[in-house]
C-alpha cells in the first residue's frame, strides 16, 4: 500500500508497533540510520517480535542513501509544523510516508525540501504531538481511505 519511512527512530517499542501496523496494512518499512536501538536477533527475540520476519523491511545508512536507493519516490513528510492536514492530501498507493525521530521530528532541510508535501494530523490547540506509532497508524489508515489506487484487498469486508 504505502512505504513508511522512519528517519532515525529512537524508541524500539514504537518501531516494533509500527512494524506490526505495516504487516497488517501491507506497507513496507524503511529505517534510516542511525537507530536508537539494536535490531539484532537477540533484541528482536527479547522484544517478542514474532511478526518481524513478515515486515517488508528496508534499512538505509542515511537519508542520502535512502534517496539514492529510491530516487523517484513520491514523498509525504508528516510533521506538526504545517497547516495542511492528511485530509487534504492526494495519497496514492506506493507513496512514501516519512516520519521523524520521536524527540525532534524531521530535520529542517527535509521539511523545507518537501514543504509542498508536508501533512499533519489535526490535534487540539496547544498539544505538541502524538506518539509516533499512533501517528503512523493514523496516517496510514487515513491514506488508505483517501488513496486513488486503493485495491480491493485493503477494503473492509
Whole-model pTM? 0.91
Contact 32, 62 (CB under 8 A): yes
Contact 86, 120 (CB under 8 A): yes
CATH of the domain at 137: 3.40.1280.10
Sign of CA dihedral 99, 92, 30, 135: positive
Domain residues for the domain of 13 are 3-154
Q: What is the number of domains present in the chain?
A: 1
Spatial separation of the C-alpha atoms in residues 113 and 103, rounded to whole Å: 21
Cell of 83: 497547516
DSSP notation for 53-85: GGSEEEEESSHHHHHHHSTT--EEEE-SS-S-B
pLDDT of 136 reads 98
Of 5, 21, 1, 7, which is closest to residue 133 (Cα–Cα)?
Answer: 21
10-residue stretch averages of pLDDT, the chain, 157 residues long? 97 94 97 93 79 94 98 97 95 96 96 98 91 97 79 43
List pLDDT tens digits, range 64-109: 999 999 999 999 999 999 999 999 999 999 999 999 999 999 999 9
Amino acid at each position: 500500500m504505502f512505504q513508511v519511512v522512519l528517519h532515525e527512530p529512537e524508541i524500539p517499542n514504537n518501531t516494533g508497533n509500527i512494524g506490526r501496523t505495516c504487516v497488517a496494512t501491507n506497507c513496507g518499512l524503511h529505517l534510516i540510520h542511525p537507530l536508537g536501538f539494536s535490531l539484532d536477533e537477540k533484541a528482536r527475540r527479547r522484544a517478542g517480535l514474532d511478526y518481524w520476519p513478515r515486515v517488508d523491511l528496508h534499512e538505509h545508512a542515511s537519508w542520502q542513501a535512502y534517496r539514492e536507493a529510491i530516487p523517484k519516490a513520491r514523498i509525504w513528510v508528516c510533521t506538526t509544523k504545517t497547516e495542511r492536514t492528511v485530509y487534504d492530501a492526494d495519497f496514492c498507493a506506493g507513496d512514501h510516508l516519512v516520519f521523524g525521530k520521536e524527540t525532534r521530528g524531521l530535520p529542517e532541510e527535509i521539511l523545507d525540501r518537501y514543504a509542498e508535501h508536508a501533512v499533519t494530523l489535526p490535534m487540539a490547540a496547544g498539544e505538541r504531538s502524538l506518539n509516533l506509532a499512533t501517528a503512523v497508524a493514523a496516517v496510514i489508515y487515513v491514506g488508505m481511505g483517501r488513496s486513488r489506487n486503493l485495491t480491493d484487498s485493503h477494503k473492509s469486508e
